[in-house]
Amino acid sequence: MSTAHEGEPDGAPAPIPTLFANLVDDTTLLLPKQLRPAMSEVAAHYLNARDSEYGGLVGQLVCPVSRLSELVSELVKLHPTAPVDISLVVDTGLGAVPKALSLALSRDLLLTPRTLETAAPPDVDGVWLERVSEFVPDDMVPVVEPRRPLEGDTEQWLTAVRRVAEHGCTPKLRCGGPRASDVPSDSDVAAFLEAADGAPAGFTTSLGLPHVVRRIDEATGQLQHGMLNMLVAVARALVNGDVRGALAETDADVLAKEIGKLSDAAGGAVRGLLARCGSGRVAVPGAELATLGLLS
Protein backbone atom coordinates (compact mmCIF):
# COMPACT_ATOMS: atom_id res chain seq x y z
CA MET A 1 0.00 0.00 0.00
CA SER A 2 1.15 3.54 -0.68
CA THR A 3 2.23 5.90 2.07
CA ALA A 4 1.42 9.46 2.98
CA HIS A 5 4.03 12.21 3.46
CA GLU A 6 6.41 10.86 0.82
CA GLY A 7 9.70 12.69 0.49
CA GLU A 8 9.83 13.99 4.08
CA PRO A 9 13.28 15.17 5.23
CA ASP A 10 15.31 13.28 7.82
CA GLY A 11 13.93 13.71 11.32
CA ALA A 12 10.34 14.15 10.15
CA PRO A 13 7.60 11.71 11.19
CA ALA A 14 7.84 8.37 9.39
CA PRO A 15 5.66 7.93 6.30
CA ILE A 16 2.31 6.39 7.19
CA PRO A 17 0.36 4.07 4.87
CA THR A 18 -2.54 5.95 3.32
CA LEU A 19 -5.04 3.62 4.98
CA PHE A 20 -3.95 4.94 8.39
CA ALA A 21 -3.08 8.55 7.55
CA ASN A 22 -4.71 11.00 10.01
CA LEU A 23 -7.05 8.21 11.10
CA VAL A 24 -6.82 8.53 14.88
CA ASP A 25 -8.60 11.40 16.62
CA ASP A 26 -7.73 12.25 20.23
CA THR A 27 -11.03 12.05 22.12
CA THR A 28 -9.54 12.35 25.62
CA LEU A 29 -11.61 15.46 26.37
CA LEU A 30 -14.80 13.43 25.92
CA LEU A 31 -13.96 11.01 28.73
CA PRO A 32 -16.00 11.12 31.96
CA LYS A 33 -14.86 13.96 34.20
CA GLN A 34 -13.25 11.66 36.77
CA LEU A 35 -11.07 10.06 34.08
CA ARG A 36 -10.25 13.18 32.10
CA PRO A 37 -6.69 14.61 32.40
CA ALA A 38 -6.05 18.32 32.76
CA MET A 39 -6.28 20.39 29.58
CA SER A 40 -2.57 21.18 29.78
CA GLU A 41 -1.76 17.46 29.67
CA VAL A 42 -4.19 16.74 26.83
CA ALA A 43 -2.84 19.57 24.66
CA ALA A 44 0.80 18.67 25.30
CA HIS A 45 0.17 14.98 24.62
CA TYR A 46 -1.58 15.75 21.33
CA LEU A 47 1.27 17.96 20.12
CA ASN A 48 3.87 15.40 21.19
CA ALA A 49 1.97 12.64 19.37
CA ARG A 50 1.68 14.77 16.23
CA ASP A 51 5.46 15.37 16.24
CA SER A 52 6.37 11.78 17.09
CA GLU A 53 7.66 9.04 14.80
CA TYR A 54 4.15 8.02 13.81
CA GLY A 55 2.66 11.50 13.83
CA GLY A 56 1.05 10.85 10.46
CA LEU A 57 -1.56 8.74 12.27
CA VAL A 58 -2.83 11.73 14.21
CA GLY A 59 -6.17 13.18 13.18
CA GLN A 60 -8.11 15.88 14.98
CA LEU A 61 -8.19 16.94 18.62
CA VAL A 62 -11.82 16.62 19.65
CA CYS A 63 -12.84 19.49 21.93
CA PRO A 64 -16.20 20.38 23.50
CA VAL A 65 -17.31 23.90 22.61
CA SER A 66 -17.50 24.74 26.33
CA ARG A 67 -13.75 24.08 26.73
CA LEU A 68 -12.45 25.80 23.61
CA SER A 69 -11.27 28.92 25.45
CA GLU A 70 -9.34 26.73 27.88
CA LEU A 71 -7.69 24.90 24.99
CA VAL A 72 -6.71 28.15 23.31
CA SER A 73 -5.09 29.35 26.54
CA GLU A 74 -2.98 26.19 26.77
CA LEU A 75 -1.94 26.32 23.11
CA VAL A 76 -0.78 29.92 23.56
CA LYS A 77 1.66 28.62 26.19
CA LEU A 78 2.80 25.66 24.07
CA HIS A 79 3.48 27.54 20.80
CA PRO A 80 2.56 24.72 18.37
CA THR A 81 4.68 24.54 15.23
CA ALA A 82 1.51 24.29 13.13
CA PRO A 83 -2.18 24.90 13.85
CA VAL A 84 -4.05 22.09 15.62
CA ASP A 85 -6.82 20.46 13.61
CA ILE A 86 -9.83 20.44 15.90
CA SER A 87 -13.27 18.95 15.92
CA LEU A 88 -15.71 21.05 17.92
CA VAL A 89 -18.36 19.08 19.81
CA VAL A 90 -21.55 20.95 20.62
CA ASP A 91 -22.18 20.40 24.34
CA THR A 92 -23.95 23.64 25.31
CA GLY A 93 -26.47 24.06 22.48
CA LEU A 94 -26.18 25.32 18.92
CA GLY A 95 -26.45 28.92 20.14
CA ALA A 96 -22.87 28.75 21.43
CA VAL A 97 -21.45 27.68 18.07
CA PRO A 98 -21.04 31.09 16.34
CA LYS A 99 -18.98 32.48 19.23
CA ALA A 100 -16.83 29.33 19.34
CA LEU A 101 -16.20 29.43 15.59
CA SER A 102 -15.33 33.11 15.81
CA LEU A 103 -12.76 32.36 18.51
CA ALA A 104 -11.29 29.42 16.58
CA LEU A 105 -11.08 31.32 13.30
CA SER A 106 -9.47 34.32 15.00
CA ARG A 107 -6.70 32.05 16.28
CA ASP A 108 -5.65 30.65 12.92
CA LEU A 109 -2.01 30.25 14.02
CA LEU A 110 -3.17 27.93 16.82
CA LEU A 111 -6.29 26.21 15.48
CA THR A 112 -7.86 24.97 12.28
CA PRO A 113 -11.49 23.94 12.86
CA ARG A 114 -12.20 20.94 10.63
CA THR A 115 -15.49 19.50 11.84
CA LEU A 116 -18.47 20.44 13.97
CA GLU A 117 -20.08 17.54 15.82
CA THR A 118 -23.49 17.44 17.46
CA ALA A 119 -25.90 14.83 18.76
CA ALA A 120 -29.27 14.44 17.02
CA PRO A 121 -32.72 13.67 18.39
CA PRO A 122 -34.09 10.20 17.58
CA ASP A 123 -36.63 11.69 15.19
CA VAL A 124 -34.13 13.92 13.39
CA ASP A 125 -35.56 15.39 10.20
CA GLY A 126 -34.41 17.52 7.29
CA VAL A 127 -35.45 20.78 8.97
CA TRP A 128 -33.25 20.06 12.01
CA LEU A 129 -30.33 18.98 9.81
CA GLU A 130 -30.65 22.10 7.69
CA ARG A 131 -30.46 24.22 10.83
CA VAL A 132 -27.25 22.47 11.85
CA SER A 133 -25.78 22.94 8.40
CA GLU A 134 -26.41 26.69 8.62
CA PHE A 135 -23.96 26.87 11.54
CA VAL A 136 -21.18 25.05 9.67
CA PRO A 137 -18.87 27.02 7.34
CA ASP A 138 -18.34 25.60 3.86
CA ASP A 139 -14.80 24.43 4.67
CA MET A 140 -15.91 22.44 7.73
CA VAL A 141 -17.63 19.05 7.85
CA PRO A 142 -20.90 18.70 9.78
CA VAL A 143 -20.85 15.51 11.89
CA VAL A 144 -24.13 14.32 13.42
CA GLU A 145 -24.58 11.51 15.95
CA PRO A 146 -28.06 10.00 15.93
CA ARG A 147 -28.36 8.58 19.42
CA ARG A 148 -28.57 4.79 19.46
CA PRO A 149 -31.29 3.43 21.77
CA LEU A 150 -29.88 1.60 24.77
CA GLU A 151 -32.49 -1.12 24.34
CA GLY A 152 -35.38 -2.04 22.09
CA ASP A 153 -35.96 -1.43 18.39
CA THR A 154 -33.06 0.21 16.53
CA GLU A 155 -34.92 0.89 13.28
CA GLN A 156 -35.64 4.51 14.14
CA TRP A 157 -31.92 5.00 14.88
CA LEU A 158 -30.91 3.47 11.55
CA THR A 159 -33.48 5.59 9.75
CA ALA A 160 -31.90 8.65 11.38
CA VAL A 161 -28.41 7.51 10.29
CA ARG A 162 -29.62 7.17 6.69
CA ARG A 163 -31.30 10.57 6.87
CA VAL A 164 -28.07 12.19 8.13
CA ALA A 165 -26.09 10.59 5.30
CA GLU A 166 -28.65 11.58 2.67
CA HIS A 167 -28.55 15.17 3.87
CA GLY A 168 -24.80 15.31 3.21
CA CYS A 169 -23.69 15.21 6.84
CA THR A 170 -21.25 12.70 8.35
CA PRO A 171 -22.88 10.16 10.71
CA LYS A 172 -21.04 9.36 13.94
CA LEU A 173 -21.09 6.04 15.77
CA ARG A 174 -20.43 6.13 19.50
CA CYS A 175 -18.50 2.95 20.31
CA GLY A 176 -18.08 3.27 24.06
CA GLY A 177 -18.75 5.17 27.26
CA PRO A 178 -19.07 4.70 31.01
CA ARG A 179 -21.89 2.14 30.71
CA ALA A 180 -21.77 -1.28 29.08
CA SER A 181 -24.86 -0.27 27.10
CA ASP A 182 -22.82 2.51 25.46
CA VAL A 183 -20.96 -0.16 23.47
CA PRO A 184 -22.86 -1.16 20.32
CA SER A 185 -23.22 -4.84 19.53
CA ASP A 186 -21.64 -6.34 16.43
CA SER A 187 -25.09 -6.41 14.87
CA ASP A 188 -25.60 -2.71 15.58
CA VAL A 189 -22.19 -1.79 14.12
CA ALA A 190 -22.87 -3.85 10.99
CA ALA A 191 -26.28 -2.22 10.57
CA PHE A 192 -24.75 1.23 11.04
CA LEU A 193 -22.14 0.56 8.32
CA GLU A 194 -24.89 -0.33 5.90
CA ALA A 195 -27.00 2.70 6.83
CA ALA A 196 -24.05 5.13 6.59
CA ASP A 197 -22.88 3.81 3.22
CA GLY A 198 -24.24 6.80 1.30
CA ALA A 199 -22.58 9.55 3.38
CA PRO A 200 -20.50 11.78 1.04
CA ALA A 201 -17.71 12.23 3.61
CA GLY A 202 -18.07 8.79 5.22
CA PHE A 203 -18.65 8.25 8.93
CA THR A 204 -16.64 8.66 12.13
CA THR A 205 -16.46 6.78 15.41
CA SER A 206 -16.19 8.26 18.89
CA LEU A 207 -14.77 6.74 22.08
CA GLY A 208 -14.54 3.02 22.66
CA LEU A 209 -11.63 2.31 20.25
CA PRO A 210 -8.51 2.71 22.41
CA HIS A 211 -6.81 -0.35 20.87
CA VAL A 212 -6.42 -1.75 17.39
CA VAL A 213 -7.92 -5.18 18.12
CA ARG A 214 -11.14 -6.14 19.90
CA ARG A 215 -10.69 -6.97 23.58
CA ILE A 216 -12.33 -6.99 26.98
CA ASP A 217 -11.14 -4.16 29.21
CA GLU A 218 -9.70 -5.75 32.33
CA ALA A 219 -10.60 -2.79 34.54
CA THR A 220 -14.29 -2.56 33.61
CA GLY A 221 -15.10 -5.89 31.98
CA GLN A 222 -16.55 -4.00 29.01
CA LEU A 223 -16.11 -4.95 25.37
CA GLN A 224 -13.87 -2.64 23.35
CA HIS A 225 -14.14 -2.72 19.56
CA GLY A 226 -10.84 -2.50 17.67
CA MET A 227 -9.70 -0.09 14.94
CA LEU A 228 -8.41 -2.90 12.75
CA ASN A 229 -11.68 -4.75 13.25
CA MET A 230 -13.52 -1.64 12.07
CA LEU A 231 -11.26 -1.16 9.02
CA VAL A 232 -11.59 -4.81 7.99
CA ALA A 233 -15.35 -4.68 8.59
CA VAL A 234 -15.64 -1.67 6.26
CA ALA A 235 -13.47 -3.39 3.63
CA ARG A 236 -15.74 -6.43 3.76
CA ALA A 237 -18.90 -4.33 3.74
CA LEU A 238 -17.79 -2.76 0.47
CA VAL A 239 -17.70 -6.21 -1.18
CA ASN A 240 -20.67 -7.72 0.68
CA GLY A 241 -18.39 -9.84 2.86
CA ASP A 242 -18.66 -11.11 6.44
CA VAL A 243 -18.81 -7.87 8.43
CA ARG A 244 -19.77 -9.41 11.77
CA GLY A 245 -16.94 -11.90 11.51
CA ALA A 246 -14.47 -9.03 11.10
CA LEU A 247 -15.89 -7.23 14.14
CA ALA A 248 -15.69 -10.38 16.29
CA GLU A 249 -12.10 -11.31 15.36
CA THR A 250 -9.59 -11.18 18.24
CA ASP A 251 -6.49 -12.49 16.43
CA ALA A 252 -4.35 -9.47 15.54
CA ASP A 253 -2.32 -11.40 12.98
CA VAL A 254 -5.45 -12.45 11.08
CA LEU A 255 -6.64 -8.85 10.87
CA ALA A 256 -3.19 -7.54 9.94
CA LYS A 257 -2.85 -10.12 7.17
CA GLU A 258 -6.18 -9.10 5.68
CA ILE A 259 -5.26 -5.41 5.89
CA GLY A 260 -1.96 -6.15 4.17
CA LYS A 261 -3.76 -7.65 1.19
CA LEU A 262 -5.77 -4.49 0.47
CA SER A 263 -4.82 -2.70 -2.73
CA ASP A 264 -4.33 1.06 -2.77
CA ALA A 265 -7.74 1.43 -4.41
CA ALA A 266 -9.41 -0.78 -1.79
CA GLY A 267 -7.69 1.12 1.02
CA GLY A 268 -8.87 4.40 -0.44
CA ALA A 269 -12.42 3.08 -0.63
CA VAL A 270 -12.25 2.02 3.03
CA ARG A 271 -11.13 5.47 4.14
CA GLY A 272 -13.77 7.00 1.91
CA LEU A 273 -16.32 5.38 4.21
CA LEU A 274 -14.44 5.33 7.54
CA ALA A 275 -13.10 8.87 7.81
CA ARG A 276 -11.73 8.88 11.37
CA CYS A 277 -11.63 6.80 14.56
CA GLY A 278 -11.73 8.25 18.05
CA SER A 279 -9.09 7.11 20.56
CA GLY A 280 -8.27 8.39 24.01
CA ARG A 281 -4.51 8.25 23.49
CA VAL A 282 -3.06 8.30 19.99
CA ALA A 283 0.23 6.74 21.11
CA VAL A 284 -1.41 3.43 22.07
CA PRO A 285 -2.85 2.42 18.67
CA GLY A 286 0.29 3.77 17.01
CA ALA A 287 2.54 1.43 18.98
CA GLU A 288 0.20 -1.50 18.41
CA LEU A 289 0.05 -0.94 14.64
CA ALA A 290 3.83 -0.63 14.52
CA THR A 291 4.25 -3.91 16.42
CA LEU A 292 2.08 -5.61 13.79
CA GLY A 293 4.28 -4.21 11.03
CA LEU A 294 1.48 -2.15 9.51
CA LEU A 295 3.21 1.24 9.61
CA SER A 296 6.19 0.44 7.41
How does pLDDT run across 140-158, given as a tens digit for each residue? 999 999 999 877 779 999 9
Classify residue 10: in a domain, yes or no.
Answer: no
Query: What is the b/e burial string over 58-68, where b = at least 16 CB atoms within 10 angstroms of the residue's CB?
Result: bbbbbbbbebb
Classify residue 95: in a domain, yes or no.
Answer: yes
Classify residue 232: in a domain, yes or no.
Answer: yes
User: What pLDDT band is residue 8 in, cutting at 50, 70 and 90?
Assistant: very low
Classify residue 57: in a domain, yes or no.
Answer: yes
- Structural domain tally of the chain? 1
User: What pLDDT band is residue 67 in, cutting at 50, 70 and 90?
Assistant: very high
Q: What is the CATH number of the domain that holds 222?
A: 3.20.20.70
Q: What angle do CA 108, 169, 180 make, to 5 degrees?
A: 95
Q: What is the pLDDT of residue 53?
A: 86
What is the C-alpha separation between 290 and 157, in angstroms, rounded? 36
Classify residue 76: in a domain, yes or no.
Answer: yes
What is the C-alpha separation between 112 and 128, in angstroms, rounded? 26
What is the C-alpha separation between 66 and 51, in angstroms, rounded? 27
Provide the domain limits for residue 280. 18-291
102: left (phi over 0), alpha (psi -120 to 50) or beta: alpha
Classify residue 11: in a domain, yes or no.
Answer: no
What is the C-alpha separation between 217 and 238, in angstroms, rounded? 30
Q: What is the pLDDT of residue 77?
A: 97
pTM to 2 decimals?
A: 0.92
Classify residue 53: in a domain, yes or no.
Answer: yes
What is the C-alpha separation between 42 and 36, in angstroms, rounded? 9
CB of 147 within 8 A of CB of 120? yes
